[in-house]
Amino acid sequence: MTVLDHDLAAAWTPDAHGPRRDPAPLLPDSEPVRILGTPALRRTADSPGGRELLRDLHRRLVVGRRFNQQATTLTKQGRLAVYPASTGQEACQIAVASALRPGDWLFPSYRDTLAVVSRGVDPVQTLTLLRGNAHCGYDPYEHQVAPLSTPLATQAPHAVGLAHAARLRGESTVALALVGDGGTSEGDFHEALNFAGVLNAPVVFLVQNNGYAISVPLAKQSAAPTLAHKAVGYGIQGRLVDGNDAVAVHIVLSEAVEHARTGRGPVLVEAVTYRLEAHTNADDAGRYRSAEEVERWQARDPLTLMERHLREAGVIGDADVAAAAAEAEELADRMRTLFHVKPQLDPMSLFAHVYAEPTPQLREQAAQLAAELAAEAATEERR
């Protein structure tokens, strides 16, 4: 027997393979979970704290829509460099904040600014990266929100690492990673799911399937039955939810977070939604999708759906709608005022927080910039 044969024989023992798992409990529902327009809405309203929860979700949606509108306007005024709006996806964005507890961690991507603001981060600080002013703009530790990630899905393994570390320390922290449908094709996404499954890490992945990765439609991106099915190959539970139904997303996400928190394993939630605006203000969505398609989804706008069903159920009335609109205007006002203030920027901060030990090249560049800034200051002084 060669050494190789011996090693292989040792590896092929029943122990090495572990027990066989039944995939059935991991499979997502074949239809997305919906609450609005079903008898479950009445049951939610009548549950303890149910009406308050529904009113709060509605209020957050109204404020969230206004945040998206105001940020988009700021790009037109040249106050914000780029804005990937989450208009149409607000139900997912606000449910993230309502499903997490203080102490849990959020790992967002560039489109998730509303989720970050809903978690309590200052709107101007949240938009610092997209303004082009600094790498992050907020203190991740203050609200347990990792920096907005632009490289697709790289936040997913970070979330698994944090969740696993918290568990090793005996903490009951859950990490929630937000990924787009395009992000699920990235290696990082698959590595994150694999590690999460093997380590049984208390992590939840929320895939906002908005139909497009810039101009690439989902049908050209994945042959999976649903993106939630991607969970099963990693031994993770998959769940499918209507991403335009804020109540359904809140309930499914809250269940997933508690599932992870209580050690029952990670969960991958796919929320089926739609990006009503272009990819960013620099994109022309009319080049790759039809006006009819957008109209069909406008008819399922998460805010109008919520308002109509909660009014019909007698949960909200004119006064609630007016109060939410007033709060939204207040936020928009504050954003306008704060964005008109020129930020105080230290160009040298570019070099901070990149490496624990800066590379020789970075040190050289930093020294060059420092010299240029000093020369500029001296010229100013002589004037």
Ligand X SMILES: Cc1ncc(C[n+]2csc(CCOP(=O)(O)OP(=O)(O)O)c2C)c(N)n1
Nearest to 91 by CA among 292, 276, 294: 276
CA 71 to chain centre: 17
Please choose, out of 22-30, 47-55, 177-185, 357-365, the segment that lies near ligand X by the rule CB under 6 A. 177-185
Q: Say which of 51, 55, 79, 288 is annotated catalytic.
A: 288
183 binds ligand X (CB under 6 A): yes
Contact pattern for ligand X over residues 233 through 272, marking x by CB under 6 A: ----------------------------------------
147 binds ligand X (CB under 6 A): no
Q: Which is nearer to ligand X, 218 or 338 (CB)?
A: 218
The CB-side HSE value for 79 (13 A sphere, CA atoms) comes to 17
Q: How far is the CB of 101 from ligand X (least distance, A)?
A: 25
201: tokens are 């890490």
Residue 14 buriedness (CB in 10 A; 0-12 / 13-18 / 19+) = exposed
Q: Which is nearer to ligand X, 68 or 210 (CB)?
A: 210
Q: Which parts of the chain fold into alpha helices (H)?
A: 3-11, 14-17, 39-46, 50-76, 90-99, 113-118, 123-126, 128-131, 140-143, 155-168, 187-199, 246-261, 291-298, 302-312, 318-339, 360-382
Instruction: Please indicate whether residue 279 is annotated as part of the active site.
Output: yes
How many Cβ atoms sit within 10 Å of the Cβ of residue 353? Answer: 11
278 binds ligand X (CB under 6 A): no
Ranked by CB distance to ligand X, the top (closest) residue is: 180
Contact call for residues 48 and 253 (beta carbons, < 8 A): no
Give the Cα separation of 138 and 119 in Å (integer).
12
120 binds ligand X (CB under 6 A): no
Backbone angles phi, psi at 327, to 5 degrees: -65, -40
Among 150, 262, 304, 368, the residue binding ligand X under the rule CB under 6 A is 150
Nearest to 140 by CA among 131, 132, 128: 128
182 binds ligand X (CB under 6 A): yes
Q: How far is the CB of 183 from ligand X (least distance, A)?
A: 4
180 binds ligand X (CB under 6 A): yes
Nearest to 111 by CA among 98, 129, 125, 133: 129
Q: How far is the CB of 215 from ligand X (least distance, A)?
A: 9
Instruction: Please indicate whether residue 288 is annotated as part of the active site.
Output: yes
Among 68, 87, 125, 210, the residue binding ligand X under the rule CB under 6 A is 210
214 binds ligand X (CB under 6 A): yes
| Contacts with ligand X, residue ranges (CB under 6 A) | 111, 150-152, 180-183, 186, 210, 212-214, 275, 279
Would you name the residues annotated as active-site residues?
275, 279, 288
